[in-house]
């Protein structure tokens, strides 16, 4: 029986001696016997008539060869390179030289070394709490065994620790500050080892009440700021809406108010046209009317009515023919 690690090389021995009675051609065969008895043996390599044939088994193509370049010298051993887990099985060497026939069986087990081992911490790293250090290998043939050791400090595991070598768990009960440090785990099987490490930092309990109070205060402050923003936005929106409603209430068909000077000119012009259309006999009534007053901006009368004039700083004179109106 042979046990080898994946990736390594193995030599399966097969030596023989020929007798004087063996006169036939020499044949050397290596076959793989399947675990299932229902299947036939598979030839993997052969030496016959001074020639090597190694194309029978695709799974070992390019990875197997006779140890001796001249197998007929009495050494038909087989080398298998870069072993894989699938190479595990029973191999049989057959030596034939008529009339003699001899064979030998060899059990090969290819094991995988532990690899991709990861360390982790489970539980709260607070003083007085129980904390578990975990160690698991992603690869590796059974049986795997795990062992923990402390790298820093005393290098001895705490007195309250409990180790499970099969699962790789290290339980530290009632943790204290002295438990802090670096811990290393070594995974082992029959063909190799692998390791990982983790840092443990035991701290005082967290003030949960203070954290909750701080979270509540922070939430309330955030809500107050949000409410202030919403209030300002609503107020601004109402002001814009009010200005828009007032703007639409203004009638577009109302003309703007006339200026004082334009009102006066309009009134005087209308009276000029009236005076120009009347005869001299009718002017006597108009000459007695005081024209020293100009209508105010806020007051107008129809041309047919006697206008009322506001006091003015200037006298207005108009000459119609030989008649002067003051």
**Given CA atoms 250, 254, 255, 260 in this order, what sign does their dihedral have?**
negative
- Report the C-alpha gap between 125 and 32 in whole angstroms: 55
Comparing CA positions, the residue from 22, 32, 83 lying closest to residue 56 is 32
Comparing CA positions, the residue from 109, 183, 172 lying closest to residue 146 is 183
Contact present, 160 and 130 (Cβ < 8 Å): no
Residue 151, both tokens: 């790298």
Local confidence pLDDT in tens for the 326 residues of the chain: 999 999 999 999 999 988 888 888 899 999 999 877 767 889 999 999 889 999 888 889 899 999 999 998 999 999 999 999 989 999 999 999 888 889 999 999 999 999 999 999 999 999 999 999 999 999 999 999 999 999 987 778 999 999 999 999 999 999 999 999 999 999 999 999 999 999 999 999 876 655 676 778 888 888 888 888 887 878 777 777 666 665 555 544 455 555 444 444 444 444 444 444 444 444 444 444 444 444 444 444 444 444 444 444 444 455 555 555 55
What's the chain's Rg over C-alpha atoms?
A: 59
Element (H, E) at 271: helix 260-276
């Amino acid at each position: 029986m042979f046990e080898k690690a994946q990736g390594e090389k193995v030599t399966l021995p097969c030596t023989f001696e020929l007798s004087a009675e063996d006169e036939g051609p020499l044949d050397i065969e290596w076959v793989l016997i399947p675990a299932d008895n229902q299947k036939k043996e598979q030839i993997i390599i052969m030496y016959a008539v001074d020639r090597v044939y190694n194309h029978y088994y695709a799974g070992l193509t390019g990875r197997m060869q006779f140890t001796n370049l001249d197998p007929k010298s009495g050494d038909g051993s087989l080398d298998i390179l870069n072993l894989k887990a699938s190479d595990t099985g029973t191999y049989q060497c057959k030596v034939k030289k008529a009339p003699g026939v001899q064979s030998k069986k060899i059990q090969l087990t290819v094991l995988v070394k532990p690899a991709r081992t990861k360390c982790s911490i489970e539980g709260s790293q607070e003083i007085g709490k129980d904390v578990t250090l975990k160690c698991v290998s992603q690869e590796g043939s059974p049986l795997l065994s795990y062992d923990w050791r402390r790298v820093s400090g005393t290098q001895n595991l705490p007195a309250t620790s409990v180790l499970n070598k099969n699962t790789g768990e290290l339980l530290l009960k009632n943790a204290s500050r002295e438990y802090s440090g670096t811990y290393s785990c070594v995974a082992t099987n029959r063909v190799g080892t692998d390791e990982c490490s983790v840092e443990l930092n035991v701290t005082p309990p967290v003030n949960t009440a203070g954290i909750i109070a701080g979270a509540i205060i922070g939430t309330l402050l955030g809500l107050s700021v949000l409410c202030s923003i919403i209030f300002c936005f609503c107020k601004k929106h109402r002001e814009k809406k009010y200005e828009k409603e007032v703007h639409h209430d203004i009638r577009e068909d109302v003309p703007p108010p006339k200026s004082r000077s334009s009102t006066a000119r309009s009134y005087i012009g209308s009276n000029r046209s009236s005076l120009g259309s009347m005869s001299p006999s009718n002017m006597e009534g108009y000459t007695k009317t005081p024209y020293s007053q100009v209508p105010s901006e806020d007051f107008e009368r129809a041309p047919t009515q006697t206008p009322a004039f506001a006091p003015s700083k200037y006298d207005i004179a108009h000459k119609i023919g030989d008649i002067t109106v003051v």
